[in-house]
Structure 1
Amino acid sequence: MECCCENMKIYELKLEADVDTDPVWCNLCGSNLDLDELPISLELKEELQNWTIEYGEWIDWANDRIREKGVELETEHNQLGQTLSAKIQKELGDTYTVSFSPSHSSRHYLNNDTKF
């Protein structure tokens, strides 16, 4: 795996879901990394793909507002993300440091009074 860091070597990973992208990033330069290149089990890759697909289920995209129980859905998504980060770290051992970046998008909607 390579990124945009000066030495192109990745040591710090970040798990962060987003729309239409793989959820693993270089934590230093911010490059999005190809999940298929990550040296983890196929089972864990599938868990990560499923988790990523669920990103944003707490948002009513058509009406640009938070869904009913959206905060709870986002909290559950973040809890699973934290668990998945720990699984990645366990499988990778000391080769990489893995951190988790939770979603805070429901706060954006709540702060802008566009909640359900």
Structure 2
Amino acid sequence: MGRTPKVVNGQHVVVFDGLNETEAVLKAVLEPQGCRVNRIRQHHSDSLISRNEVPSIVVVYDDDAENFTTSQPDWNEVPRVIIGSVSKTSTAQHNQSTRFLVQPFQYAELIDSIESLLNQSETT
């Protein structure tokens, strides 16, 4: 594809709820670059990830954002990509470590957003 790997080994991306396809695409692109990808569901959040482990980036669908903040309060400062509709993005916290994608989105947009946040976290 001609893409230069931008992800640093050992980083961890978590998809909170969301679609199976999102996890599969992110694993296919990011894991060969040394980044772990997991998907957790709010009802099974302790099955894949230790409560003490804080990910590098969280991908959360806007419909699940409220459940995310209540079920994983230690992750409120973690950079995130929020996928949702235009009308709902105003409910989310706006800062440099949050990216918004409007559905329908392209997976290339999601990967670029994640890589941008991962690189940002490595330089700060």
Q: Which interval holds the TM-score relative to the shorter structure?
A: under 0.3
TM-score by length of 1: 0.27
* Structure whose residues are more often strand by fraction: 2
